[in-house]
Structure 1
């Protein structure tokens, strides 16, 4: 895939793994000329310069996707003066959004059902965003990596032969065939990129630009949770399953270490503690507790929000390591 196509379809790829968008409004053609690849690149270079200058005060891009696959929409809003960008995507009834703030980090909507269950369990039902700090974040880098900027669409791999159509109002359409798609770049009478369209047999994508100062309000404090705290909550939502899994994994490791011989109590305790410790290290919290009991160990965890305790007992029994739910 060429970079031109990948940049132009960036929003579509983000939305639905490679979909695209509906045709824009038809233009009445006035004068159409053929351009070589070199002529196309030369003609679009000043458009990139003008569009970059226009975007310095603020801009937004709106994307729409239709086709045989799941349709979707996306919006990118950028306020360079305050170093903040916002993006929102909708696919088949689901929605996600996020903010990038220079020198601060990212705010993203809660990613899944487990995360939403976690904030509810934690007594914070108003939380909608998770914050990931990044003091090195710059708006320029974020936009280069994650947004269909006018400069990106107009600066990479645009040297394909095509046509130039000049309309009565001074606007211009540049049309190229790229990797089996028809790509149309719309240029305004002011010489800036006003939109783009990519079409193939089973899909279409439209991209529309607006150049103007943008106002973006970051999420309210009561709607945000830190990434580390959310991860902790998610682990505790999964706590019953985790305790069970560690108990059976520790028992299996003890049996494996015995190699068909009698499972020794000391070996069992060592194996279970190792598995529990590995989990605590991975999760970066001390959730799993392992204590000695007669002929084995008890694995337990207590949810600090609900105060629920889940525990299992693993005991050595001949060549077996028996696991049972502790009901005490």
Structure 2
């Protein structure tokens, strides 16, 4: 089953609508000044409560605003299945998706037209994900937007500073502190159970708002039928450009041989050497040995065969007096 943002992060939109919006009015608020020691102790307690709440899973929504506009990202983590997923944009909108599965690796969604063309070329038009395998992949340690992330309640840069606590009449509260060494001001919002529900960071004209939800996420990794390994994906992209690469090796090799002759008669050996140099450079840049060269009478033949379509593109490059001829064969 392919992961879709709407299904994958449906719980996220539900969870965050239950959070108290920043600036909401309460019948009575109590503000308490906290020393650095008291602040650290309070946030440690929040961290423990949040970790317990996140044990079955969590989701988040981040909204970053600044000079360059607004960026939204939704994420979720399923510890039961050891799957983490993120989506640029609100749940249900288009964007770049990324999924990490512990012990397996990370999946990136294929969204560019060239990706679709490459998958169609290899006979797998339904592929929408590319897997970069990694047996050491850890979905739990992937996100910087989980409730206990570096900018969360466990960050010592913030928690070692004095701050304030505003307690609301419904039992929820807000802790605020300034990271003097970083310039960030941070506010943590907790519910009546002391669990972190939101974090706001401000730095000059930049603001990051994070909202958190907790509970089982039921995430599913992309199925094999709609995914391809990275090596195959990369090779497919290279072979998609195979006709142009072969032609370029022939044309550039011919040009280099003419220049080497300096207006005199072009040597057959020079043609062969220059064509091989261009083929090597093409293969080196792509990381895949696609373009091949062999000697023929008067020069060289440069060619490549697509392993999926079985089509061959070939050119001959031959010395002809002071000229070099390039012909498609």
Q: Which TM-score tier does this pair reach, normalised by the shorter chain?
A: 0.7 to 0.9
TM-score by length of 2: 0.78
Which residue of structure 2 lines up, in the alignment, with residue 131 of structure 1? 131
Matching residue of 1:9: none
1:237 aligns with 2:240: yes
Question: Aligned with 2:80: secondary structure?
Answer: helix
Q: 1:149 aligns with which of 146, 149, 164?
A: 146
Specify the SS of the correspondent of 2:272: helix
Number of matched pairs: 300
2:207 corresponds, among 204, 209, 226, to 204
Query: 2:8 is matched with which residue?
Result: none
Deviation of 1:234 (Å)? 0.5
Question: Structure 2: how far apart are the matches of 1:139 and 1:121?
Answer: 32
300 and 42 in structure 1: CA distance in 2 versus 1, 3 angstrom threshold: same
Shift of 1:81: 2.0
* Equivalent of 1:190 in 190, 193, 206: 193
Cα gap change, 1:36 to 1:248, in 2 (>3 Å):
farther
Check the 8 A contact 1:247/1:323 in 2, yes or no.
no
Deviation per CA, 1:130-161, whole angstroms, max 9, x where unpaired? 11211122333x32xx3322222222221334
* Runs of 5+ consecutive residues of structure 1 not aligned to the other structure: 1-22
What does residue 302 of structure 1 align with? 305
Matches within 5 A, 1:32-181: 32-90=31-89, 94-110=94-110, 112-140=112-140, 142-143=141-142, 146-152=143-149, 153-156=152-155, 157-158=157-158, 159-178=160-179, 179-181=182-184
Specify whether residues 165 and 319 from structure 1 end up closer, same or farther in structure 2 by C-alpha distance, changes over 3 A only.
farther
**Distance (whole Å) between structure 1 residues aligned to residue 134 and residue 224 of structure 2:** 17
Structure 2 unpaired stretches of 5+ = 1-19
Q: CA RMSD in A?
A: 3.0
Q: Is the 8 A contact 2:299 2:319 kept in 1?
A: yes
Contact residue 109 and residue 129 of structure 1 kept, 8 A: yes
Displacement of 1:293 in angstroms is 3.4
Output the CA distance in 1 between the equivalents of 2:177 and 2:320.
Answer: 74
